[in-house]
Structure 1
Amino acid sequence: MHFLPVSMLAAVLSAGTVPLSTGVAAEPACAPPPALTVPAAEPLPAALSGLPDAEASAALVQLRGTTSWSGSSGQASVRSPQPPAPGSRFRIGSMTKTFTATVVLQLAAEGRLRLDGTVQEYVPGFLPPSYPPITVRQLLTFTSGLNGVEVPHKTPDWFFEHRYDHWAPGSQLDLGKPLLFAPGSAQHYGNADYIMAGLVVEKVTGHRWADEVTRRIVRPLRLSGTTVPGDRIGIPGPHAHGYEATAAGWRDVTLADPSLQWSAASIISTAGDLDRFVVALFSGRLLPAAQLNEMFTVPPVCDVDTGAQATYAAGLSRFTINGVEIWGKSGDRPGFNNGMGATRDLSRRLVYSINTLHMGGDMPVRAQRLIAAAFAA
């Protein structure tokens, strides 16, 4: 999942007063981005209040920059009426992709790989010989055309039957299918590109992807609440539980093997750690200028699913609220829907986590309210 998913928002955003646009220059072959709105801005405490409700059991939010505020609402578990603690950990889902992109770009800065180098060069023999060359940059910008194995992992029946299944790195890719499109000609968001990027990291470094993320990002930034869980099913430390609303009541979905998501969507973190990561990333502490620029450069292609202009760069997506350009990422897992976003100058930064009661689906209305409150003032 990505930050403010355009294809999803087009179907779900209700009428409001704050205009939202992708901020990407028009390409002749692409349809214009859909006319989108977010709810009218309200105070951030009001946007967070009133939990639990039919949509979510709890939520926490942290706003930093020229304005600072943090809070939580709802109940962290069915056994406690207390809201999540400020340092609560949560499954960040596809925000993991920003970590993976950072590691790949660090390797490029070190001269250990080239962004225009190919998957076939760095992971020889893995892709079918019929596939054309796919570059590392195309992986990072979702323009490779690779297919992922199609499983309904965000539907309750599949999740409860398969939540503890283990997936070996690379088994998430469906290499029996032809590419969705010629590499570099379109954009398609999904996990496949970042699973492949994780394999590139492992081949180039000779180390596990999880170890590279930990060594290069987690430890240097002292992200004490951030873990790369591998196939460990639990969330270490304090955390709100995730639930799925069923006819019989809330069913706990907190425990799950995250190996299906691996280098695309498996990391566990906190709001404070993610804010520290964003600050270090945007300020150039993690990447030289040339590689950092890749994270703020959207390829001039169309989204193959919507026909609209592409919105994703390497590990980040771009959107505009009320004339303010925001770069960020979102992610979801059953029981968790989260996002992080910031202005390029870091003057306004938001991290939120919502414990949604219905896995999959579109961006929660609660998330729309929090984003509007944080960035539309």
Structure 2
Amino acid sequence: MTNSTNSWMRKVRWPVAAAAAALAVAGTAVAPAAASTGTTPVPLRPPAAVAQKGHVDPAALRDALAGLPDDYVRGAMARVTGREGRWRGTAGEWTVPDDAEFAIGSITKLFTSAIALQLVGEGRLAPEDTVQELLPGLLPASYEPITVGQLLSHTSGLQKPRCVRPGTPVEVVTSAVSCGTPTAPGSAVQYNGINTFLVGLVIEKVTGRSYGEELRDRITRPLGLRHTSLPADDWAWAEGGIVSRASDLERFFTALIRGRLLRPTERGLLFTTPETPGADFSYGGLRRVQAPGGGPVVWGKTGSNHGYTSGIFATPDLGRVVVYSTLTTGENPDEETARVLRIAGAGFRGAGTGTTAGGREG
């Protein structure tokens, strides 16, 4: 079972355990695949003999998955879709189908951010609304006002949750702010899962319904995500508790970027980052990164829970969408990161640069 504090308290990079920055949560784990060896890539389209710009590179993907399991990554899955081609493969101890369900960890945050932006589009919530107005008494009285937009973009200034304890969402938040000192809201980027717990509580306060009901009625049911759910016993909740599969994530992420879930103004916020120095998370919770290996700028999110370290990223024009998940050993985070960078980089090898799908790149 994965470390229950995971890496959400560390500075976020592209990586796996560190970049996923999710709460790995106590509860019923999604069982990792049984042991086996070898790589089982399954191309969905006959690859070209030589990879070209704007085309998926099957050889690079096979090489990235080769050699598993090793001392750092027990197994992995990668799926690439989009106009530039399709590919899927598994390796090592990932012996179930590449489209098997797994705990997506902090990728859950994208679902939560999407619901919040839907409420903004409906006029029921505004990025400028503050936690103190919406959830009076939850944060200490000494804290400066924190806006919903700052929660979504990880510029709230909330301290790293060194004192966090499992429990209800309110108990998680109150324990997290029971020690340490926040920085001034809007002054710096600090990735923090408590931000999303607060967004989940805001959603429930504004709608008068549970987060799970809003998730079902706004996203999973309309999009037909039949393999995406929120287990009741996973206290990571709106921050990192969802279980899904690669094809569901692709469908959700594609719908999100194309604007099926959001009105034009809120869709633009997906690609709009704050003026805060170093801001790389948008007001829609997407992270902007340079694809490994000198690839294009892509947007997406990583997550880690119950032994899975995963990510979904895409070029803004959806020419290339990459979903990956790995079963890491926890022996050496740097080596784990290097392997995941290889997989993610291979997924975007030769990708077109794409164009910004909406909003202002901060």
1:328 counterpart (284, 294, 300):
300
Could you tell me whether the CA contact under 8 Å between 2:15 and 2:341 is conserved in 1? no
What is the alpha-carbon distance in structure 2 between the residues aligned to residue 189 and residue 359 of structure 1?
A: 24
Aligned partner of 1:225 in structure 2 is 227
What is the alpha-carbon distance in structure 2 between the residues aligned to residue 359 and residue 119 of structure 1?
A: 39
Could you tell me whether the CA contact under 8 Å between 2:295 and 2:345 is conserved in 1? no
Letter in 1 for 2:79: Q
Offset, 1:366: 2.3
Aligned partner of 2:5 in structure 1 is none
1:53 aligns with 2:53: no
Query: TM-score w.r.t. structure 1 length?
Result: 0.73
Letter in 2 for 1:200: V
Alignment of 1:69-80 (within 5 A): 69-76=87-94
Query: Aligned in 2, Cα 1:107/1:70: closer, same or farther, shift over 3 Å?
Result: same
Offset, 1:50: 2.3
RMSD: 2.5
Deviation digits for residues 260-305 of structure 1 (CA, Å, limit 9, x no counterpart) = x221111111011101111100000001121112121121223xxx
Offset, 1:368: 0.8
Aligned partner of 1:272 in structure 2 is 247
Could you tell me whether the CA contact under 8 Å between 2:72 and 2:331 is conserved in 1? no
1:374 aligns with 2:347: yes
What is the alpha-carbon distance in structure 2 between the residues aligned to residue 203 and residue 139 of structure 1?
A: 16
Q: How many residues align?
A: 296
Gaps of 5+ in 2: 1-7, 20-57, 351-362
Letter in 2 for 1:336: Y
Alignment of 1:165-314 (within 5 A): 167-173=167-173, 174-177=176-179, 179-231=181-233, 258-259=234-235, 261-302=236-277, 309-313=278-282, 314=284
Offset, 1:169: 0.9
Aligned partner of 1:17 in structure 2 is none
Could you tell me whether the CA contact under 8 Å between 2:16 and 2:304 is conserved in 1? no
Offset, 1:170: 2.1
Query: Aligned in 2, Cα 1:90/1:186: closer, same or farther, shift over 3 Å?
Result: same
Letter in 2 for 1:358: G
Could you tell me whether the CA contact under 8 Å between 1:62 and 1:351 is conserved in 2? yes
What is the alpha-carbon distance in structure 2 between the residues aligned to residue 132 and residue 225 of structure 1?
A: 40
Query: TM-score w.r.t. structure 2 length?
Result: 0.76
User: Counterpart of 1:142 in 2: which secondary structure?
Assistant: coil
Could you tell me whether the CA contact under 8 Å between 1:145 and 1:179 is conserved in 2? no
Aligned partner of 1:68 in structure 2 is 86
Aligned partner of 2:289 in structure 1 is 319
What is the alpha-carbon distance in structure 1 between the residues aligned to residue 248 and residue 317 of structure 2?
A: 19
Offset, 1:48: 1.4
Offset, 1:5: 4.9
Offset, 1:143: 1.0
User: Counterpart of 1:117 in 2: which secondary structure?
Assistant: coil
User: Counterpart of 2:107 in 1: which secondary structure?
Assistant: helix
User: Counterpart of 1:354 in 2: which secondary structure?
Assistant: strand
Structure number having the greater strand percentage: 1
Could you tell me whether the CA contact under 8 Å between 1:3 and 1:328 is conserved in 2? no
2:325 counterpart (328, 343, 353):
353
Query: Aligned in 2, Cα 1:5/1:297: closer, same or farther, shift over 3 Å?
Result: farther
Query: Aligned in 2, Cα 1:7/1:311: closer, same or farther, shift over 3 Å?
Result: farther
Aligned partner of 1:116 in structure 2 is 128
Query: Aligned in 2, Cα 1:357/1:367: closer, same or farther, shift over 3 Å?
Result: same
Offset, 1:150: 1.8
More moved, 50-59 vs 282-291: 50-59
More moved, 348-357 vs 309-318: 309-318
Query: Aligned in 2, Cα 1:360/1:62: closer, same or farther, shift over 3 Å?
Result: same
Could you tell me whether the CA contact under 8 Å between 1:335 and 1:358 is conserved in 2? no
Query: Aligned in 2, Cα 1:168/1:148: closer, same or farther, shift over 3 Å?
Result: farther
Structure 1 residue runs of 4+, over 6 Å off? none
Could you tell me whether the CA contact under 8 Å between 1:149 and 1:172 is conserved in 2? no
